[in-house]
Amino acid sequence: MAKTKKKKESEWATATNERLSEAGFRRGGARAAVVSLLDEQSCALSAYEIEDLLAQRERAVGRASIYRILEELDELGVVAKVELGQGQARYEPVRPDHHHHHLVCDKCGAVIAFDDAPLERAVHSISKRVDFAVEGHEIVLHGLCADCR
C-alpha cells in the first residue's frame, strides 16, 4: 500500500478531468496539479495563492500556465472567475449543488462564503424580467469581518 501522494479525488476533479478529455485536452502535469489543488478548495483562490500553494505542496507551476489553465477551466464552466473588488481575480471550482456568494472584509481581505435561497430567487426573478440574457451573477457583501470589527 504505497499510494501516499494522491489524496482522494472528489466528484469535481473527476468531472473536470472528464470534461477536459472530452474537449480534447491532453493530460499535462501543470493542469493536473491545478485541478487537484482546486479540488480541495471550497472557496475562491487568487492566481498568486494558487502559485504559492502549488510551489509548497504539489508541484511548482509557472504563473503563465496557471492563468492559461484557469482560463480554460473557466471556459469549460468548471471553474468560476470571481472579482471581489480586491484588484485581482479569484477562481473557485463550480459545484452545482454548492452555489454561493461572498463576504469580503475591507480591512483584512478575508473572503467568506455564504448562500441564501431568497437571494437566488430574487435574482432569478429579475433575470426573467429584464431584456437581457442573464447567464450568471455575482453578489459581494463587503464590510468588516468578526475579527476586524
Partner DNA sequence: ATTGTTGCAAAGTGTTTGCACAAAC
Partner DNA sequence: GTTTGTGCAAACACTTTGCAACAAT
DSSP one-letter string for 38-64 = HHT-SS-EEHHHHHHHIIIII----HH
Q: Does 61 bind DNA (CB under 7 A)?
A: yes
Residue 108 lies near its own copies (rule: CB under 8 A): no
Beta carbon of residue 35, minimum distance to DNA (angstroms, whole number): 10
CA distance 133 to 147: 40
CB contact at 8 A, 111 and 88 = no
- Is the Cβ of residue 33 or residue 78 nearer to its own copies in the bound state? 78
Q: Counting contacts by CB under 7 A, is residue 108 touching DNA?
A: no
Q: Find the angle CA(67)-CA(17)-CA(42) to the nearest 5 degrees.
A: 65
75 sits near its own copies (criterion: CB under 8 A):
no
Q: Which of 63, 95, 78 is nearest to 21 (CA)?
A: 78
Site membership for its own copies, residue 128 (CB under 8 A): no
| CA gap 147, 107 in Å, rounded | 10
Is 136 near its own copies (CB under 8 A)?
Answer: yes
Query: Which residues are near its own copies by CB under 8 A?
Result: 81-85, 89, 103, 105-106, 112, 114, 116, 118-119, 121-123, 125-127, 130-146, 149
Query: Which residues are near DNA by CB under 7 A?
Result: 24-32, 46-48, 60-65, 67-69, 71, 87-89
